Amino acid sequence: MDSSLPLLVAVLGAVLGGGLLGWSFRRASQSPALGAGIGAVAGVFGVGLFMAPLNFCTFEADRTTADNVFGVLLIAAGFLLIVLPVRWVALRLAAGQRLIGAQSTPGAFKGTVLPWLFLLPTLTVLVLFLYYPSFDTFRLSTLLARLGTPRTAFVCVNNYTRLIADTSYLNSLVLTLLISAAIVVIGLVLSLTVANFAYQPIKGAKIYRALLVWPYAISPAVAGVIFLILFNPTGGIINYFLGSLFNLKIPWLNDPAFAPWAIILASVWKSMGYNILFYLAGLQNVPNDLLEAAAIDGANALQRFVRIVVPMLSPITFFLVITNMTYAFFDTFGTIDYLTGGGPLSSTTTLMYRIYQVGIRNNDLGKASAESIILFVLVIGLTYLQFRGGERRVSYGA
């Protein structure tokens, strides 16, 4: 590595940050010099956010091109992470606006000390058990570290860049997206259908509704055990019935073509209760006069459902897509662990399950940390995309 590189990058950060904020301040009719000053400082901190702790290791002489590219990306990401929030804060402050929206609602706290005091217990817990471990994950992800081994070794960004060439990781990534999409789509379609039936005014509807919700109350591990008994290829109940009815035997758990479907079915069943609950509540908010008007205009039941009920439920569907996505990414772990253990042929090794295999089963904390940070960024990105894309199509009513 050229020893002048850190200086060069810092100057670049200062110039870019100063330029961006100077320009922003001028457009907002504020002093460009002040903006440029703040921007330059923020820019230096930004480019150094990841690189300073890493000591610019990605640009050492014996590093691969992938490492260099990753280093540039890290510099850019750090720059944006610092400069953009600073720009927002600086512009508001310069314009004399408060940072937190004006609190004129009745019953809101007037001072600043008391509300923070009330927030303190929650913040303490969050910092100790969520934020600190998260930051430590970043540090761990640059190490070769094993559980039960006191010594560690710094490996720069190897834990990240090695994944580019790791086909099993890429398979796992694609698989996770496919399984998640299937769980969300199949789960929501089935739930809406069932909720619509359960919503009909029939005798004992309340009992049906209660029974439909209870799978949600079962832990993923118990669901895994139930489906293990159902799907078992040799002695399972499902194959027993398929065998006696159609003379069919499906190798649910020991064939890579079927095992993901076993996971999807079990997960859908598990999350359906939750989805149905929300759809039942949503159905009660669909105005009856709209449906009656449509009926008078000659729309049949299917048309009324597709044209009126489904659009009216879009806020709930949007909410459920995000919760189900998160469920599919993180909470299918228990079901996978009991049902397939990630196999056969890694056909049910989702990214989340892989992190467990690498970090706990193989004790490789560094690699597992790197993979969990990638998963974290991935889920944030997906949620952001959903918010961007979803908001336009969601109708929150008049």
Q: Residues interacting with other proteins, by CB under 8 A?
A: 144-153, 232-235, 251, 253-256, 259, 340-341, 343-346, 357, 360-364
Shortest distance, position 360 Cβ to other proteins, whole Å = 6
- Strands 143-144 and 153-154 come out as antiparallel
CB 171 → other proteins: shortest distance, Å? 13
Give the angle subtended at the CA of 349 by the CAs of 347 and 354, to the nearest 5°. 155
Q: Residue 104 carries which side chain, given as an amino acid letter?
A: S
| Cβ 164 to other proteins shortest distance, Å | 16
Burial class of residue 266 (count of CB atoms within 10 Å of its CB; 0-12, 13-18, 19+): buried
Between 318 and 353, whose beta carbon lies closer to other proteins? 353
Give whole-number Cα distances, 258 to 175, 181, 264, 295, in Å.
Answer: 13, 16, 10, 44
- Owner of token pair 């508001």: 92
Give the CA-trace dihedral at 379, 382, 387, 392, to 10 degrees.
Answer: -170
Task: Quote the least distance from Cβ 149 to other proteins, whole Å.
Answer: 5
Closer of 25 and 252 to other proteins (Cβ)? 252
Q: Give the residue with the Cβ less far from other proteins, 30 or 349.
A: 349
Question: How far is C-alpha 160 from the geometric centre of its chain's CA atoms?
Answer: 19
Specify the residue, 18 or 342, whose C-beta has the smaller distance to other proteins: 342
Helix (H) or strand (E) run with residue 126 in it: helix 113-126
Nearest distance from residue 128's CB to other proteins, in Å? 15
Indicate the residue among 267 and 348 with the shorter CB distance to other proteins: 348
Shortest separation between residue 263's beta carbon and other proteins, angstroms: 13
When the beta carbons of 271 and 371 are compared against other proteins, the nearer one is: 371
